[in-house]
Amino acid sequence: MATDYYAALGVARDATPEEIKRAYRKLARELHPDVNPDPATQDRFKEVTAAYEVLSDPDKRQMYDLGGDPRGGMGGPGAGFGQGFGFGDIMDAFFGSQSRGPRSRTARGKDALIRLQVTLAEATFGATRELTVDTAVACGECHGAGTAPDTQVVTCTMCGGRGEVQSVQRSFLGQVMTSRPCPQCQGFGTLIPHPCPECAGEGRVRTRRTITVKIPAGVDTGTRIQLSGEGEVGPGAGPAGDLFLEIVEQPHDTFTRQGDDLHCTLSLPMTAAALGTTLELSSLDGVEAIDVKPGTQSGAVVTLRQRGVTHLRSSGRGDLHVHIDVITPTKLDEKQEALLRELAALRGEERPSGTVHQNSSGGGLFSRLKDAFNNG
C-alpha cells in the first residue's frame, strides 16, 4: 500500500468521518472525469476515491490503521471507478446521503396525551389515581416478530434484502444513480409471507390496561405530567412512547382559585357585622373559625394563612381570602322598623346626609373582588 490514504485526502490521521467526507466532496468536485477529463486528473480521482472508500468505512479504516490491506483483491489504490465503489457513493459525497440499508421493523411508539380532571382538594394535597387507558402493547402471540407460529421472515427478492432499489438517469455529470425504498418490502428488506393472525404482522395489538398515577400537590389546569414509557408500544414491540397527563381542575362550589390562593365570599347580617361575631367556614382543611370584628364593613377581607393550594415547586401553601358581604335587610316588620328608627335617633342618623368618596373600582362587590384578586 504505497499510497497514504490520509495524505491523498489531505486530512489528519485522527480526522472525524465528517471531515473525511467533506475533504472528499471538495476533491471529487475538482477531479471528477466529467468535469476534468485530463488522464492525470483521472488517476488522481481514482486515488482519492479509493482513499475515501477505505477511510469512510470504520472496519476498513481500522484495518488500514493497523497496517492491513482493506482493499485486498480490489485492485489497490488505482482500482477503476466502479470496483466496489459506485457512482451513487460519489453522489452521496456530493449531496449527502440518507441512511442506507433496510429499515428496522422495530420503532419507538408514539407519545399519548390524556386530559385528567381533578378536584380542588386533589390539586391542593395531591392524590393517587388509577387510570384505564386504551393503548398498544406487544403482541403476546408473536412477541413482536409479526410472523405466524413456526414461520419466519424471508428476504425480499426485488431488492435482495437491501431495502432499496436503484435507478440510473443521465445528467450533465453523466449517469446519476438514485435510490428509493423498495416498493415490494417498503424498505424493510424482508417480507412476512405468513403474518401473525393476532397482530396482522405489526408485532403489537391494542388493549385496555390500568395504570396507577401519582398526582403531585399543587397542579393546576394546564399542568402536564410525563409518565415515561407508559405510551404506546412501537411497531415490532419497539420501545414504548411516553404518556402525558394534562390536568383539568374542576370548579369548586365554594372557592375560586387565583394562582395558589383561594377566595370565597361570606355573607352575614348587618347586625353581626356591627356587633362582631365568630362564624364557622368549611375549608379544605376542615372547619375554620372566622372572627368578624365589630364594625366590619362589606368588602372587608379576612385572610387565613397557609390555607390555600400547595406550591407545586416549593414548600408552603397559598392563603385563603374570605371576602365579607354585609347584607342589608329589605323587609322589616313594624317592631323591627321601630327599633331601627330608635337606633338611628340614638346615633343622630334620622336624616343622614351621606358622605361621597372617590371610588375608582366602581363600588360594586364584584369590582372589589376583582381588585382583591389583582392586588393579591
Q: Which domains does the chain have, with CATH numbers?
A: 5-95 (1.10.287.110), 112-142+200-249 (2.60.260.20), 154-191 (no CATH), 256-375 (2.60.260.20)
What confidence score (pLDDT) does residue 373 get?
47
Tens of pLDDT, residue by residue over 314-327, are 999 999 999 999 99
CB 119 within 8 A of CB 250: yes
Tens of pLDDT, residue by residue over 76-109, are 333 333 334 444 444 444 444 444 678 888 999 9
Q: Which residues of the chain have pLDDT under 50?
A: 1, 73-99, 361-366, 369-370, 372-373, 376
What confidence score (pLDDT) does residue 166 get?
77
What confidence score (pLDDT) does residue 282 get?
95
Cβ–Cβ contacts within 10 Å for residue 230, how many? 21
Which residue type occupies 285? D
Question: What's the whole-model pTM score?
Answer: 0.61
